[in-house]
Structure 1
Amino acid sequence: MSDGIGEKIKYFRIKHDLTQEELAKGIVSVSYLSKIERNAADPNPEAVKKLCARLEISPEKVLDEDIANDVMRWMESLLKRDLVLAHDLYQDIQTKIEKVIDADLFWLVKLHALYYFVLTKQTDKAKRKLKLLKQDQKHFSERETYYWLKFKAHFEYLESSYEKAFLHFQEAERLYNDVFKEDSEEYYDLIYHVAKTATVLHYSYHASVYAERTLVYYRDHYRLERAAKCHILKGVNYKRIKEMDEALKHFELAEALGKRLSSDTILFRVYEAIGELFHDLKMPTQAIQYYSKAYGVVKHQFSVQELIAILGHVKTYIQCDNKSLAKDWLTKADALLKTEKDMTPRYVYQVKVLRFVLYGFTKQFEKLLVKEVIPYFKSRKLYIAYAGYVRLLGDYYYNNRKYKLAAEYYAEAHQAMVDIKHMDNK
């Protein structure tokens, strides 16, 4: 494991207002010092000792108990997603960064900074931190590698690269027992995110198994918010295998917990999920009832959740052939997208495609699907959505008597469904 000595030397060189040439003079070459500072070379101990002497610092690591306690509290706040406390502790740690550099905490702080930027959606900072950490991963201990895999997975999830996230989470799980030796809050947080990511990817077997394991833990430890989210994951996966009564039971359990916690986040997810359940059952009156509840929770928040609730209304009114109301709700979606420019592409594409469904298909529909929509979902291996759009394009070609093209796209949609089963059975 690298102890961060290169970063320590760089930090104190800059603090002493020295150039690399001035620090290196008579000790090492400038190029070698540059490599040491970038952790690109295993530093010669004698050279390190001389560099540190010139900077009047110790080459040995010194652990400060106060900063160690602050770092551990910060890590725990990130695990529990207490972002207010995490922000305060992060600011405090930054004022004591010299002690972090001088201790065995160096890589833990760097790695958790990546997670902090992901959780607070500081995407550009997360990208830069990821790039820098990638250069140093060969130096990581097993524990640091575990966090690297886990936090890299969270970054991929933030970027909608769900299969990459899923694979990194699984790599972290395989390493877990070598690092921590026993189950803990850390372990169940990890497998909860495996379940969540598997659900997005429609890997129903993995999602169900992992969600059940996490549900038992969070229920037994009275972690009600996470227990509610696990009930929602289980409900979604029961719905997908057509066990509608079991799905509804889990959604209702999550709803009860959401009301108990006064959590709009939970209640939105429940109402949206039940709306989708009744939509799948072709019961539009009940579907609209729950989509309306979901919309009521997030109305005027200018969020992706608001857009999801609006889209639920559009799709259900199309299903019951009420195009007038469907158009009214699509207008709400258009207005929201004009206000919010950074909406998740997968929902923006839904709006664009539904506009063609309601107002008629043109050549622009074909261009949109071929050039943008289908490549987007294929690249992220979101096979259910991908198959749906491919099938829709097949219908477009069929209705335009392009039967060969239609057959090719129908076959491609079928293959996408096969690919899901293949991945879920790994």
Structure 2
Amino acid sequence: MGILIEVGSLIKLQRTKQNMTQGDLAKGIVSLSYLSKIENLKTEASPEIIQALCTRLGIQIDNSQNNMILEKCTEWYGMLFEANDKEEIIAKYKEIQELMDENLTENLLMFEIHKIRYYLVIGSYDKAEEKIKQLNDISGTFDNLHLYYWYKFKGNYNTVVNDEHNESMRLYKKAEEKGRQIDVSEEEIADLYYTIGVTHSKLRNTLEAIDYARKALEVFMKEYNFLRCAQCHIILGISYRRIKMYDNAIKNYNLALHLGKLNKNKVLILLAQENLGHLYTTTRESKKAITHFQAVLDDEEAHPADHLYTIASLVGLYYSVGNFEETRNTVNYGLKLLEEFGKYEEYKLYYYIIIAYDHLLKEEYKEFEKLMIHGFLPSLEKQEDYGNIAIYAELLASHFEKFHKYKDATKYYKVANFAYEQITNI
């Protein structure tokens, strides 16, 4: 779709961005009904009328700039990933926006659609929502290429902001369908496959997650894009762990760790270490799990949130092998971090775990039982977090068994067994 065909959409977009009414723009140039037809692509106006409308909008049509603007846009689109430098992404955005403000270019629609992704990457979620609402008015004029990114980025929005993975999957599948009808790079399609794989993983569709992660990995390997390969290996590792193919999971996590180290990518290194620790916890190989979790804790560059996750994992492991000194040290560090973070909802799980072991270490058994029965386990049940229910119901049951409270012990062993059954059924 060239600029002569979609110029009406571009004019509408520029008008709404400037908070100008149709009446403001049309006055003395065309009738309101004729402007409406131009904006909705129901007629093709003369070059003179288009020029007059653009002049009022304070922009010009300069096709000689198109290739240069496209080149800059393409470079910027390739930067829109969380792993890239945010300041560079913002600087490039501002440079392109200045060009867009002065020129009516056929690259404008694609640039505006990519703003959804841009706002998500820099964490401006309100602006992402506002941009979706703004573009929704002209989405009926999008061609298949526009629709591909429109569906993909709206899927990203639903995942990041609304945590609505089913709606994201519906949008990603529509993007996949459009992807078959357009000419985009293999790497772009591989990114969509990876995104679908991640979403399947979040929805616990394990076999589908493996299928899409493998498809993406095949392309990223051909392109020697080792960072994206590492991300695929993480998804494969999680999926294989869920279906208890532990050797395959370990292989994929170690590949991700190796590639993360090659690229000096701290995020991937820590993610691989955390997942290896989690896997060895699952297989009850406590010493190996401790080694990987401790590597995260020893990393001074790790985000405090990573440390909290690791502490929550480590305290139980140290306690289970009878290393109460390290349990105490780890709990103390966790309490210090919790004090810094405050009582945020997103850290509630870590709070319960750290406080539970704090009570056990201090032999505050009544407080421990109260926390578990009236706080921690009900919170996990509300979230249907069966993995943690299984772990902590069993911890409570073994505590009751130790003090010969067999009726209570039996009750919570049953809760743990029920949780394990739900995990198996996922």
TM bucket (normalised to shorter chain) is 0.7 to 0.9
Distance 1:148 1:249 in 2: 36
Q: Indicate the residue corresponding to 1:250 in structure 2.
A: 252
Are 1:387 and 1:417, in contact at CA under 8 Å, matched by a contact in 2? no
Distance 2:186 2:15 in 1: 37
Write out per-residue CA displacement over residues 21-52 of structure 1, whole angstroms, 9 at most, x where no aligned residue: 7656577899x899899x7x778877998797
**1:281 is matched by which residue type in structure 2?**
T
**1:361 is matched by which residue type in structure 2?**
E
SS state at 1:178 partner: coil
TM score, norm. by length of structure 1: 0.76
Q: Aligned match of 2:281 in 273, 276, 279?
A: 279
Q: Aligned match of 1:6 in 12, 15, 22?
A: 12
Q: Indicate the residue corresponding to 1:220 in structure 2.
A: 222
Write out per-residue CA displacement over residues 110-168 of structure 1, whole angstroms, 9 at most, x where no aligned residue: 11111011112223322332333344433332222211211122222323433433333
Are 1:149 and 1:168, in contact at CA under 8 Å, matched by a contact in 2? yes
Write out per-residue CA displacement over residues 282-303 of structure 1, whole angstroms, 9 at most, x where no aligned residue: 1111111111112223x36444
Distance 2:301 2:312 in 1: 15
- Distance 1:145-1:10 versus aligned 2 partners, 3 A rule: closer
Structure 1 stretch 105-114 or stretch 83-92: which is displaced more?
A: 83-92
Q: Aligned match of 2:90 in 87, 112, 116?
A: 87
Q: Aligned match of 2:80 in 60, 65, 78?
A: 78
Q: Indicate the residue corresponding to 2:204 in structure 1.
A: 202
Distance 1:326 1:35 in 2: 69
Distance 2:71 2:343 in 1: 38
Q: Aligned match of 1:168 in 168, 171, 174?
A: 171
Distance 2:205 2:74 in 1: 34
Distance 2:80 2:24 in 1: 40
Q: Indicate the residue corresponding to 2:109 in structure 1.
A: 107
Distance 1:281 1:410 in 2: 17
Q: Indicate the residue corresponding to 2:308 in structure 1.
A: 307
Deviation at 1:222, TM superposition (A): 1.0
SS state at 1:202 partner: coil
Deviation at 1:312, TM superposition (A): 2.0
Distance 2:180 2:164 in 1: 26
- Distance 1:7-1:356 versus aligned 2 partners, 3 A rule: same
Q: Aligned match of 1:240 in 235, 239, 242?
A: 242
**2:189 is matched by which residue type in structure 1?**
Y
- Distance 1:104-1:258 versus aligned 2 partners, 3 A rule: same
Q: Indicate the residue corresponding to 1:317 in structure 2.
A: 318
- Distance 1:9-1:253 versus aligned 2 partners, 3 A rule: closer
Distance 1:11 1:329 in 2: 52
TM score, norm. by length of structure 2: 0.76
Structure 1 residue 366 corresponds to structure 2 residue 369: no
- Distance 1:60-1:139 versus aligned 2 partners, 3 A rule: farther
Structure 1 stretch 278-287 or stretch 262-271: which is displaced more?
A: 262-271
Quote the RMSD (CA, aligned, Å): 4.3
- Distance 1:50-1:220 versus aligned 2 partners, 3 A rule: closer
Q: Indicate the residue corresponding to 1:350 in structure 2.
A: 349
Are 1:302 and 1:336, in contact at CA under 8 Å, matched by a contact in 2? no
Distance 1:48 1:404 in 2: 79
Q: Indicate the residue corresponding to 1:139 in structure 2.
A: 141
Write out per-residue CA displacement over residues 362-401 of structure 1, whole angstroms, 9 at most, x where no aligned residue: 278536665x6555x46xxxxxx35644996899899997
**1:89 is matched by which residue type in structure 2?**
K
Distance 1:186 1:7 in 2: 26
Distance 2:151 2:343 in 1: 27
**1:261 is matched by which residue type in structure 2?**
N
Are 2:210 and 2:236, in contact at CA under 8 Å, matched by a contact in 1? yes
Distance 1:394 1:256 in 2: 35
- Distance 1:293-1:142 versus aligned 2 partners, 3 A rule: same
Q: Indicate the residue corresponding to 1:381 in structure 2.
A: none
SS state at 2:204 partner: coil
Q: Once the two structures are aligned, what percentage of the paired residues are identical?
A: 20
Distance 1:244 1:287 in 2: 14
**2:229 is matched by which residue type in structure 1?**
A
Are 2:380 and 2:388, in contact at CA under 8 Å, matched by a contact in 1? no
Structure 1 stretch 325-334 or stretch 237-246: which is displaced more?
A: 325-334
Distance 1:44 1:207 in 2: 46
Between the two proteins, the alignment pairs up a number of residues equal to 399
Q: Aligned match of 2:118 in 116, 134, 155?
A: 116
Are 1:302 and 1:340, in contact at CA under 8 Å, matched by a contact in 2? no
Write out per-residue CA displacement over residues 147-204 of structure 1, whole angstroms, 9 at most, x where no aligned residue: 1211122222323433433333233212211223x65111001111122232233321
Structure 1: gaps (5+ residues): 379-384, 421-426
Distance 1:131 1:319 in 2: 52
Are 2:9 and 2:41, in contact at CA under 8 Å, matched by a contact in 1? no
Q: Indicate the residue corresponding to 2:157 in structure 1.
A: 155
Higher relative contact order (CA 8 A, sep 6+): 1
Q: Aligned match of 2:100 in 87, 97, 113?
A: 97
Distance 1:394 1:415 in 2: 15
**2:14 is matched by which residue type in structure 1?**
K
Distance 2:206 2:140 in 1: 35
Distance 1:36 1:288 in 2: 67
- Distance 1:395-1:184 versus aligned 2 partners, 3 A rule: same
Structure 2: gaps (5+ residues): 1-5, 360-367
